[in-house]
Amino acid sequence: MAALAILPSSMAATNSSSSQPPLMASPSPVLHWSPTSTCRRIKPKYPLRISSSTLADSSALLNAAHHTVDTYIKSGMIVGLGSGQASTMAIQYLGRKLRAGAFKDIVGIPMSVVSASEAAKAGIPQGDYQDNSQIDFAFDDADVIEEGTLTAIIGRRSLQGDESLIQEKSILNAAENLVFLISKNQYKGGLEGAIPVLVHSFNWLAPAEEIDDLFLGDAEVWRRPTIGHADPLGGQFPLVTREGHNILDVIFTSPIESLDEVAKSLDKIDGVVDHGVISKFPCAAVIASESGLCIVDNLSKNSVKGV
C-alpha cells in the first residue's frame, strides 16, 4: 500500500549538507494511501503568480527538482541521472551545488544521450553503466504513474540519437533508491494510452499479433516509426533502436485495471525483449503542482524510518 507524505513548506529549503535521510524519512506525518486520500498542498518554494499554465508547470517541476536533490542526494553517491524536463532541471541544480561545494565525490550515471550532455554542461563527473554497477540513488521523469501502486510507464517520448529504453530501465532497477518527478496530472488510476514494447526487429509481427489478440478490444498495436506518419506497420521508416529492436506502442483505449498484470502478460510473450512498465521497491514520486509538492511512496508505515 502506498503512503502519502505531507511535505511541510520548511522541507522545500532543506540543505543538502545535512545527513542523508532514508528514502521517505521526514518530520512530516505519513498517512496510508487510499483511493479517496487527498494531499494537503503546501506553499511552494517559489511563488507561482503566472497566468501561463506552461510556465506554472515548469516552476512547479523546478520545485520538485530542487527538493529531490536537496533531500535525497549526499556526497559520495553514485546517482542515476534521468531524462525529461524535471530531470534536466535536477541535473542542472546538482551541478550548481557541486560547483558551490555543497557536494563532493558525486558520480552521475546518465540514462540517455540528453542527460549525459546536460551532466557534462553542469560539470558532473560521469561513469559508465554496467550490469553490476552500484547506483545509490536515481531520479527520472515518468510518463504516468499508476495511483496507489507507483507502477510507472516510461518510454513514450521519441528516442533521440543513441538513447536506450533498456539502459534507462536497467539503471532505474539497479538503483538502491528511486524517485520519479511528475506533475499532478501524471499520477492517476485507470491509465490509458501507450505502453512501449521492445521486440526483435527481424520477427516483430508475430509478437505484435499476439499482443493484439491478448488485448483485443482494449488496445491497438502500432509499430513506432522513425519519421513520418505512424501506422500499424511503422510506415516506410520503422524505428530501430541501438540494440536492433523495434518498438510497438500498445495503445490502450480502455482504462488499465492493473499495470503490473499487463507487464506480466507482456513478459510471457515470445519475442518481447522488454517494455516501458517499471515496478520498483522502494520507490517514491515527487508530485508537483502550482500549490506545492506532494510525496507518495510505496513503503509501509512501519518501514519508514525517522518519522
Backbone angles phi, psi at 61, to 5 degrees: -65, -30
- 287 touches 183 (CB < 8 A): yes
How far apart are alpha carbons 20 and 25 in whole angstroms?
Answer: 9
Catalytic residue (one of 146, 168, 176, 210): 168
Residues near 257 by beta carbon (within 8 Å), at least 6 away in sequence: 190
| CA atoms in the 13 A half-sphere facing the CB of 266 | 23
What's the first-to-final CA gap in the chain, in angstroms?
A: 17
- 154 touches 278 (CB < 8 A): yes
Based on the residue annotation, tell me whether 243 is a catalytic residue of this protein.
Answer: no
The greatest distance separating any two alpha carbons of the chain, rounded to the nearest whole angstrom, comes to 56
If DSSP states are collapsed to H, E and C, what string results for 133-167? CCEEEEEEECCEEECCCCCEECCCCCCCCCCCHHH
| CA atoms in the 13 A half-sphere facing the CB of 6 | 11
List residues with catalytic annotation: 168
